[in-house]
Amino acid sequence: MHLSRRSVAFAATLAIALIGTRPSVVVAQLYVAVGATANFTSMGSGEFEFPGAGFGIAGQARVGRGWVSVGVGGMAMNFPIEAQSGNVDLTGVFIEPRLTIEGIDPDGQFTPYAFARAAWASQEGVIDGTPHTGEARVIGGGAGGLLRVTPRISIDFGGSFSTVKLTERTFDSDPRPDESGGGFGAHIGAYLRFGGQAEVIELDRATERSRSRRRESARRPG
């Protein structure tokens, strides 16, 4: 079989390019973030003695890698009682796993996410001059999005649905039965993120660094 000089030159160039190409992997780096939101919650469904809508604030710290992150934080909500004079406050803590869907927006300006939340809160209030107390357990989830303002700062907004169980209730020190139901919520606020940029590591360099660390470890006494 006869090969032209052009074919031989092309094959040689291709071989050199393949030999010179270093395989690489993309490694997502760990990041931390903090956020603060203004919240709205409607407790209109269920068997609540004092249904209504409430407003409040929440703050959280978050740690993540790639698409997955976990946040912990605190919240404070106030529910005015529409039919009677008074209000009920909920204050507590929560944990919130989140799945961020990267790559939807090619420009990286908008990043949607889905989340789940479990919260534990205490309930206190005064209704018609009578003290009201209890405990609340909240489990729910929803979806939202991060709208990037700067490389670190984003606007955080979303909506959710939660199931709520009120226990240990008292009204003027008299025990009241437990209550349960559901509520819809919405939030908007600010999100500040540090780190998390993807790093491209060439495999042969990574292997060399690993070998170097092993050699250095072997030289250490003990």
pLDDT of amino acid 180: 82
Say if 203 falls within a structural domain: yes
Say if 7 falls within a structural domain: no
pLDDT of amino acid 169: 83
Tokens for 178, please give them: 């437990």
- Rounded to 5°, the CA angle 142-52-168 comes to 85
Residue 15 has pLDDT above 80, yes or no: no
Say if 161 falls within a structural domain: yes
Residue 24 has pLDDT above 70, yes or no: no
Comparing 46 with 30, the larger pLDDT belongs to 30
Residue 115 has pLDDT above 80, yes or no: yes
- Radius of gyration for the chain, computed over Cα atoms and rounded to the nearest angstrom: 28
Q: How far is CA 30 from CA 143, 191, 195, in A?
A: 23, 16, 7
- The whole domain housing 151 covers 30-216
Model-wide pTM > 0.75? no
Contact 134, 166 (CB under 8 A): yes
Residue 222 has pLDDT above 60, yes or no: no
Query: Percent of the chain having pLDDT more than 70?
Result: 70
Say if 166 falls within a structural domain: yes
Say if 171 falls within a structural domain: yes
Give the tens place of pLDDT for each residue, 161-214: 999 888 888 877 788 888 888 889 999 999 999 986 655 455 555 555 555 555
pLDDT of amino acid 118: 97
Say if 25 falls within a structural domain: no
pLDDT of amino acid 218: 47
Domain count along the chain: 1
| Burial grade of 3 (CB within 10 A; 0-12, 13-18, 19 or more) | exposed
- Which CATH number belongs to the domain containing residue 122 in this structure? 2.40.160.20
Task: For CA atoms 200, 100, 190, 70, give the dihedral sign.
Answer: negative
Say if 104 falls within a structural domain: yes
Residue 160: closest CA among 97, 115, 202, 126: 115
pLDDT of amino acid 220: 45
Give the tens place of pLDDT for each residue, 125-151: 887 778 888 898 999 999 999 999 998
Residue 14 has pLDDT above 60, yes or no: no
